[in-house]
Each structure stands twice: as structure tokens, then as C-alpha cells.
Amino acid sequence: MSTFKIELGVKVKSNISGYKGMVTCRSEHLNGCNRYWVAPKLKKDGTLEEGHWFDEAELVLTDKKKLSRKNPDDGGFPSRIK
């Protein structure tokens, strides 16, 4: 059984590419590899760039403060990214 080392809602950075964003999703694979979907901040014009999947070992925490949703039944995550 795999355990995730990175919490959902924290900010991370890839130690390979330098890509930064917030962990919004994670997946556990049969081969034991944990992967995380990292979504970037909104652009100044209010548009959202595409996020990317990263291996757990590639990511480092940049901010331990977690974003949490007050009501998990109120729609999709991107509508609340500020």
C-alpha cells in the first residue's frame, strides 16, 4: 500500500523543470509511483494555463499552507483558485 508524501492543496516546485503550482490531484500507480497534478496560478488576464503531472520524487514543497475548500459540494476546483 502506497502513502502519499505530499498533501493536496499545497504549493510545490519541480526540482527538474522549475515548474511551480498547487497540487490539485494525485494518483497511485501499480508500479508504486505516486504522481501529482500541479496546476499553475491564474495568469494576470484571468486565464488558467494547463497543469502537468509530476513524479513525487521530483517535487519539493514551496509553501506548507494548504488551500482547503469550505464546501466540497460547490463545484470544480478551478472556479475557486485566486
What was the pLDDT predicted at 71? Answer: 57
CB atoms within 10 A of CB 21: 22
Please state which of the four CATH numbers 3.30.70.580, 3.30.1330.180, 2.30.30.390, 3.90.1300.10 is assigned to the domain occupying 1-62: 2.30.30.390
What was the pLDDT predicted at 70? Answer: 59
Does the predicted TM-score (pTM) go above 0.95?
no
Q: What is the mean pLDDT of residues 8-22?
A: 95
32: pLDDT strictly greater than 60: yes
Q: 48-81, pLDDT tens digit by residue?
A: 888 999 999 999 999 888 776 655 555 555 555 5
Across the strands, what pairs with 28? 34
Higher pLDDT, 32 or 38: 38
Q: C-alpha cell of 70?
A: 469550505
Q: C-alpha cell of 30?
A: 501499480
